Amino acid sequence: MSRQIIVGNWKMNGTTRDSKALVQAISGGVKAEGPDVVICPPFTQLSLAASQLEGTSVRLGAQDCHKAASGAYTGDISPAMLTDLGVSHVILGHSERRQGHGELDETVREKAVAAAKAGLTPVVCIGETEDQRESGDHFDVLGWQIKGSLPDDFSGILAYEPIWAIGTGRAATTEEIAETMVFLRQELVRQFAENGKKVRILYGGSVNNENAASILSIPEVAGALVGGASLKPDAFLSIIHAASAS
């Protein structure tokens, strides 16, 4: 079994002082024999984080990128700009981008292609709303998101985040996660054949230090995409250590 990966998504949080302290606390507590660890600060703190992570095993990620390498796109960041800063991973298609910025599956797919071309590992997010799950349409929704958001030669990471669990403190049950993970793997294999067996699948959505061990022990869960808890060093390190134990 390959090493699990824990990705911390800081979202729109982190002044210079806070970010410096957080990076130091996390990198100082990560053990080399543990899981792969990626932290994703806001764009404004990437340079600072990159300098602090030199010589550590913690990798640097970003929270989004544009599909173009450069150009007249005010306020956007290109994949090449991220690699220039030492970024190795990039989160794409998070529900907060899809819902708050109107990003479509096609947009996410184009970004994933551009990210991979620049040498980044795309972490592509998918997930259903509460209404879609309650109506029984969630597997159809997830299947279409995979088909629309992942390029044919996708070799990145898939992150399953039920929208109704993000930031609510209400994680999906282990039974719900296990059932969904089986479906996602089957769907990846159906759509991408052998390549679909290699894609790592993360779970995200109110992962914390109390539920991490049970979530990370579920078959097919290759790690976690962590939101709020990644801003608390003790909680985030506890999740990382739970991955080591699993």
Neighbours of 15 (CB within 10 A): 10
Neighbours of 83 (CB within 10 A): 17
Contact yes or no for 83/119 (Cβ under 8 A): yes
Answer yes or no: is 11 a known binding residue.
yes
Answer yes or no: is 9 a known binding residue.
yes
Longest dimension (CA), the chain: 49
Answer yes or no: is 57 a known binding residue.
no
Answer yes or no: is 117 a known binding residue.
no
Degrees, nearest 5: CA angle 63-70-77 = 20
Neighbours of 222 (CB within 10 A): 22
CA dihedral for 128, 130, 131, 135, sign (positive or negative)? positive
Instruction: Tell me the residue ranges of DSSP E strands in 70-148.
Output: 89-92, 121-126
Residue where the block lists tokens 């054949």: 193
Task: Name the DSSP class of 127.
Answer: -
**Residues 9, 15: Cα–Cα separation, whole Å:** 15
Query: Per the residue annotation, which of 96, 103, 128, 161 is the catalytic one?
Result: 161
Answer yes or no: is 10 a known binding residue.
yes
Answer yes or no: is 102 a known binding residue.
no
Query: Per the residue annotation, which of 66, 94, 138, 241 is the catalytic one?
Result: 94
Answer yes or no: is 228 a known binding residue.
yes
Q: Is 161 in the active site?
A: yes
Residue numbering of the annotated binding site for substrate: 9-11, 167, 206, 227-228
Q: Give catalytic residue positions.
A: 94, 161
Residue numbering of the annotated binding site: 9-11, 167, 206, 227-228
